[in-house]
């Protein structure tokens, strides 16, 4: 259960609030020194799980171990974790230095040592010279840095971050993502990061746990999650995914043949039990649009372009195909070959992709 390299081990943890089960029998480990994200839409239980790590909530069932120590009954003030709150929770009656030094009063270190640590922390988050600023004089990004410094100065074994970038505007958020990642590498502390933003999770994390309805669907590295989702929900949550439902009709060489109803037979690398319901998932950027009927060695669906949107580096197309409810998303890079695209809204097109591009999902 508790692997040697796990700094955090979550074992059969369930949390109920009255009749509501917020976290449902979750077990996994978080490796020492990794940047780990809990990803899911609101209400999936990710924040509740983080709060159980911090000690603000107690599991109804199961146990949490941090660095091998059982955490049952250990209050937040005695845990080797520190947290960056969603609202930052900067103490408004204290200045920046006092905020950052707040947790050092009980650290059993001298005043000089504490002062030195605060200075180091200020430097770490690039706020040197801001120490005497009052809390209300800080911008959103600066508050975020103070919250980070205040948590890191206590030298926790694990830093918990509850959607810390959610309140920042887009440019600042992207800047902070890069800084946060660099900071984590510098200090080498395990980060557990809660977010609902899949792009943010992909950018920052070593590994991501995708959560839904109190359960963990998949834990993997960002590339693996994107390329090899283990179920339909993960596939649709991470990025955009076209999903075609069908039944396994048979096999051809190393391919499974899927009967996708009106869309016709589709082929994909892999195999499945004949007759079982499956989903074929394929990313928009793996699809190609052509106006001529393609060769027989690829999957092809015919449809009508219902919308085109220009995204600068690429064009995004929505294609309506008969027998498929949702429009098919197609993304094409605007390189020299395709920039002068002849495709128009209302035009009849073929959507094609090779057999190796999709993924076969059983649920």
Q: Minimum Å distance from CB 193 to other proteins? A: 16
Three-state DSSP at 283 gives: coil
Using CB under 8 A as the binding rule, whether residue 107 contacts other proteins is answered as: yes
Contact between 82 and other proteins (CB under 8 A)? yes
> Closest CB to other proteins among 158 and 176?
158
Is 184 an interacting residue with respect to other proteins (CB under 8 A)? no
Least distance in angstroms from the C-beta of 29 to other proteins: 23
- Residue 107 beta carbon to other proteins: minimum distance, rounded to whole angstroms: 7
Q: Does 54 bind other proteins (CB under 8 A)?
A: yes
Among 150, 196, 207, 232, binds other proteins (CB under 8 A): 150
Among the listed residues 42, 106, 171, 276, the single contact to other proteins using CB under 8 A: 106
Scanning 131-139, 187-195, 304-312, 349-357 for contacts with other proteins by CB under 8 A, the matching segment is 131-139
Q: Which of 196, 179, 182, 189 is nearest to 159 (CA)?
A: 189
- β-strand 288-290 against 348-353: which pairing, if any? antiparallel
- Rounded distance, CA 120 to CA 131, Å? 11
317 binds other proteins (CB under 8 A): no
Q: Is 311 in the site for other proteins (CB under 8 A)?
A: no
By 3-state DSSP, what share of the chain in percent is helix, strand and coil, each rounded to 5? Answer: 25, 35, 40
Indicate whether 17 belongs to the interface with other proteins (CB under 8 A): no
**Binding of residue 103 to other proteins (CB under 8 A):** yes
- Identify the residue among 91, 175, 199, 290 touching other proteins (CB under 8 A): 91
Burial of 304 (0-12, 13-18, 19+ CB in 10 A): middle
Q: Which of 350, 347, 335 is nearest to 294 (CA)?
A: 350
Q: Are strands 348-353 and 299-310 parallel, antiparallel or unpaired?
A: antiparallel
Is 30 or 154 the residue whose CB approaches other proteins more closely? Answer: 154
Closer residue to other proteins, CB minimum distance, 27 or 139:
139
Rounded Cα–Cα distance for residues 199 and 174 (Å): 10
Question: Which of 179, 154, 234, 180 minimizes the C-alpha distance to 35?
Answer: 180
Q: Based on CB atoms, which residue is closest to other proteins, 6 or 82?
A: 82
Per rule CB under 8 A, is residue 164 in the interface with other proteins? Answer: no
Q: 187 vs 148, 180, 352, CA distance in Å?
A: 12, 11, 47
DSSP string, 105-122: TTTT--HHHHHHHHHHHH
DSSP-assigned beta bridge partners for residue 244 = 280
> Looking at beta carbons only, is 144 or 332 nearer to other proteins?
144
Residues that bind other proteins (CB under 8 A): 54-56, 75-78, 81-83, 85-93, 102-103, 105-107, 134-136, 143, 150-151, 154
């Amino acid at each position: 259960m508790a692997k040697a390299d796990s700094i955090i081990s979550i074992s059969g943890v369930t949390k109920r609030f009255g009749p509501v089960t917020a976290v449902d029998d979750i077990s996994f480990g978080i490796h020492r020194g990794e940047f780990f994200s809990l990803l899911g839409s609101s209400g999936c239980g990710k924040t509740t799980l983080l709060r159980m790590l911090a000690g603000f909530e107690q599991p109804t069932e199961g146990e949490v171990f941090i660095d091998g120590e059982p955490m049952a009954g250990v209050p937040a003030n005695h845990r080797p974790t520190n947290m960056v709150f969603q609202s930052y929770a900067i103490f408004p009656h204290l200045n920046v230095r006092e905020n950052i030094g707040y947790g050092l009063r009980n650290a059993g270190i001298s005043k000089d040592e504490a002062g030195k640590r605060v200075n180091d922390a200020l430097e770490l988050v690039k706020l040197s010279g801001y120490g005497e600023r009052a809390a209300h004089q800080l911008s959103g990004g600066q508050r975020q840095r103070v919250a980070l410094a205040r948590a890191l100065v206590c030298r926790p074994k694990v830093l918990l971050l509850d959607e810390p970038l959610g309140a920042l505007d887009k440019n600042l958020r992207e800047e902070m993502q890069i800084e946060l990642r660099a900071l984590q590498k510098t200090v080498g502390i395990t980060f557990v990061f809660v977010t609902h933003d899949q792009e943010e999770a992909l950018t920052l994390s070593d590994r991501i746990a995708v959560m839904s309805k109190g359960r963990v669907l998949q834990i993997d590295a960002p590339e693996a999650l994107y390329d090899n989702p283990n179920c339909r929900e993960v596939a649709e949550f991470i990025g955009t995914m076209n999903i075609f439902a069908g039944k396994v009709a048979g096999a051809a060489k190393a391919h499974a043949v899927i009967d996708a109803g009106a869309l016709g037979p589709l082929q994909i690398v892999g195999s499945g039990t004949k007759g079982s319901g499956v989903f074929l998932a394929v990313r928009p950027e793996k699809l190609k649009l052509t106006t001529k009927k393609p060769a027989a060695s690829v999957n092809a669906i015919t449809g009508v372009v219902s919308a085109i949107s220009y995204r600068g580096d690429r064009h995004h197309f929505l294609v309506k195909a008969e027998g498929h409810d949702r429009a098919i998303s197609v993304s094409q890079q605007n390189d020299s070959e395709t920039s002068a695209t002849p495709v128009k809204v209302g035009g009849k097109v073929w959507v094609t992709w090779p057999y190796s591009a999709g993924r076969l999902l059983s649920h």
